[in-house]
Amino acid sequence: MRSNSLAAIFLLTSLTLVALTVPSTSKAASFNCDARNLQPDEKTICDHRALNDADVKMVTTFDLLSGLLAMGSRGTLQDEQAVWLKKRQACNADAACIKAAYDERLKALDGTYRRINRPL
């Protein structure tokens, strides 16, 4: 139980440090906000700090989990991410829909983290 708590603290600390070091103006975590060919959902994310922050948290969590998972599980995680991305893109410029998509994905990633087998 103690190792699970320490792992959770480490993950949250890592996410916080990464979030604090990401520039806040022209770059979201997973794409460049200055790109000319942004999709409507990406433009909305760039225009809303809370959505940009959610993007930072999601991509950081995804990257950390990718490094912790075995190959088969990592492939599943990547497939789930691709499905989620299509769902987020379907929101177009609807900020509430995008926020709900991030909330759902972060909850799913948290569940994946909690299911990782850890040594006792």
Question: What mean pLDDT do residues 71-87 have?
Answer: 94
Domain membership flag for residue 65 = yes
- The residue among 83 and 118 whose pLDDT is bigger is 83
3 state SS of 27: strand
- Number of domains present in the structure of the chain: 1
Angle, vertex CA 82, rays to CA 78 and CA 85, nearest 5: 130
Cα separations in angstroms, 46 against 21, 50, 64, 76: 17, 9, 23, 28
Range of weakest confidence among 5-9, 87-91, 94-98: 5-9
> 91 is in which domain, residue-wise?
2-114
What is the Cβ-side half-sphere exposure of residue 5, based on CA atoms within 13 angstroms?
2
Look at residue 24 in the predicted model and tell me its pLDDT. Answer: 46
Instruction: State pTM to two decimals.
Output: 0.75
pLDDT in tens, 15-24: 555 555 554 4
Domain membership flag for residue 77 = yes
**In whole angstroms, what is the distance from residue 66 CA to residue 116 CA?**
11
DSSP assigned state of 32: B
Burial-class residue 72 by CB neighbours within 10 Å (0-12, 13-18, 19+): exposed
**In whole angstroms, what is the distance from residue 103 CA to residue 9 CA?**
20
pLDDT in tens, 11-51: 655 555 555 555 444 566 689 999 999 999 999 999 999 99
Domain membership flag for residue 120 = no
